[in-house]
Chain A
Amino acid sequence: MLRRYKLFATMAGLALMAALGFASLSNTAAITTSSLQPISLPSRDELISTIFDPTPLFTASGEQIIFDADKMVFLSVGSGTFAFIPLHAAYQPRLVELYKAWQEFENVRVPLGGLYIVEPIKVKGVYNEGPEFSLPKGAYVLKLEPVNPKGDILRIAIVNEEGQVVGHVTGDIQLVAQPQFLKSRPFIRTKQVSDSMTLAEFEIPWLTPSTVNTIDLDNIALGPITDFLTGLGAGIAMAMVILLL
């Protein structure tokens, strides 16, 4: 009986060693194969699925924000690798509600879009004089901060998955007089502003002409409003500036 157990134990040991050996062999084979085969660059589909699938993206912001993954802009330069994800048109009605409250100086933050940081980056705060802060890898929601009735600089909060504001960047509201000039998706510009600083500027179509018509443009909190805009069905775009160190 004891001999039988020993036999079983030996067999089990051998099986375990074989299993571990096979596992290690298959991993080595995988490494060897990957080092021989060229590393493929991520396709757009892979970018979108990687950024959206494994991440509890933006749900921690406390409300259901709808993002438009197809219109995502992904950029990788020496200063950093990140993606901007605009809001989906289906989110416009809620955006209009929040924007109206924001215009009336209520204490609300209005979503602008999502930011996904692939590698940790250092960012300079609002208006260049602002404090530096770092953004670890992960998903963030960009939100327009409330302003006071006396006027204030426009601040865009970067909110992490726990709902905490980790820093602010700057931006501008742009009123687009001709509806056809409102862009169909976000566009990006990068600029070198010093030997150690790169500026990334996003232009984001934000409120389409049809929704803007429902907003009292004369009461917009920031920026000079000319009367003719109201009658033209203008759109609103946001410009957001991120200074990368």
Chain B
Amino acid sequence: MLKTIKIVLVASLAILLMGTPMVQAVSQGENLSRSRIVSGLRAAFSVALTASGETILLDEDKALFLSELKGSLVFVPLHPSYWPRVEEFLKAMDEGQEVTAPVGGLYVIEPVTVRDYQGFNFTLARGPYLLRWAKDKVLIVDQEGNVRGAVPYELKFPNRLREPVVNVDQAGESTVFRVDAPWIWSTPATDGGNAFMHPDMLLDDRHAIAGFAVGVILVVIFVLL
């Protein structure tokens, strides 16, 4: 009887001691899962967007997470329900107002050094950032609303991108990340094939876009040093 009691005690102690590590071991393998990445981004950007004081809807389900030797970056596109608001920003820019239009979110996992659109370098610490189109560049804005730097971009239309795509390449010692982001889809649906578009076209010749394009893609270019 005493032996049985001892066994029960030892077993209960074993359960207590072993239970937690087993749970941890199982959950560690799930760290890389898509749902975990999406949840992590939601949590990070909910704080960042609250701090920015502006309601910007991001589509974390369509996030693009890329890790390679130079660093790990996540691009989060805008949610389609936010595109009409982007068009309002573009209209305001067209009328000469000093505004910038949101492009999406960027999460930097490891600190990276980036070359800006004028050839200068700046660093981005780990954390969430918002990307905003400022006509001649894309601004990278931190949680406090400070512009940390600006990178070049291209506009493309039309192409019904359902999620961001990426093109990573080596340019000398640098690495170039080009992220094509689905941006505005609300213009009439006629397929005119892929084409590059001059930035002024987006603001000054809206009829051309309306007649041509099913959407606008903004290609954000990060040169990592």
Q: Which residues of A contact B (CB under 8 A)?
A: 5, 8-9, 11-13, 15-16, 19-20, 22-23, 26-27, 30, 38-44, 46-47, 50-51, 54, 70-79, 81, 118-119, 183-192, 195, 198
Contact = CB atoms under 8 A, between A and B. Distances in A.
5 contacts: A19-B16, A41-B109, A50-B31, A78-B163, A190-B165
A22 B16 contact: yes
Given A81-B33, A118-B32, A185 B19 contact: no
Contact of A8 (B2, B66, B162): B2
Contact of A42 (B31, B160, B165): B31
B189 interface: no
Contact of B66 (A11, A50, A188, A195): A188
Nearest to A38: B43
B13 A19 contact: yes
B68 to A, nearest CB: 5
Interface residues of B, number: 54
B202 to A, nearest CB: 22
Given A38-B40, A118-B34, A76 B64 contact: yes
A188 B168 contact: yes
A40 B37 CA distance: 8
Contacts of A119: 33-34
Interface of B: 1-2, 5, 8-9, 11-13, 15-16, 19-20, 23, 28-29, 31-34, 36-37, 39-41, 43-44, 47, 61-69, 71-72, 74, 107, 109-110, 159-170
B1 A9 contact: yes
For the complex of A and B, 3 pairs with smallest distance between CB atoms: A38-B43, A76-B65, A19-B12
A20 B9 CA distance: 11
A112 B113 CA distance: 31
A16 B9 contact: yes
Given A43-B109, A44-B67, A78-B61, A5 B33 contact: no
B39 A39 contact: yes
A31 to B, nearest CB: 10
Nearest to B182: A192
Contact of A73 (B12, B32, B41, B68): B68
Nearest to B5: A12
Contacts of B19: 23, 27
A92 B209 CA distance: 52
Nearest to B29: A54
Given A118-B34, A183-B170, A77 B64 contact: yes
